[in-house]
Amino acid sequence: SITRSQISRRAKNRQRANIKRVRVMVDGTPKRMNVCTNCLKSGKVSRA
């Protein structure tokens, strides 16, 4: 049989977003949402 390199046999390592469940302000009301830490850091969403 054809030999496979070890790297191609290994399972693919998926990178996922670092998501936190936080209370954020949506239209003036606090709401629990799943928000990525990059969004929190950059100020795209404001915490309640």
Query: From CA 48, how far away is CA 1, in angstroms rounded?
Result: 60
First to last CA, the chain: 60
Q: Could you tell me if residue 10 is inside a domain?
A: no
Count how many domains the chain has: 1
CATH number at residue 33: 2.30.170.40
Nearest to 48 by CA among 30, 33, 32: 30
Residue 38 has which token pair? 């990059």
- Residues 1-45: tens digit of each pLDDT: 567 777 677 777 889 999 999 999 999 999 999 999 999 999 999
Q: Could you tell me if residue 4 is inside a domain?
A: no
Q: Could you tell me if residue 3 is inside a domain?
A: no
The model's pTM is 0.59
Q: Could you tell me if residue 20 is inside a domain?
A: yes
pLDDT for 12: 78
pLDDT for 1: 56
pLDDT for 37: 95
pLDDT for 3: 72
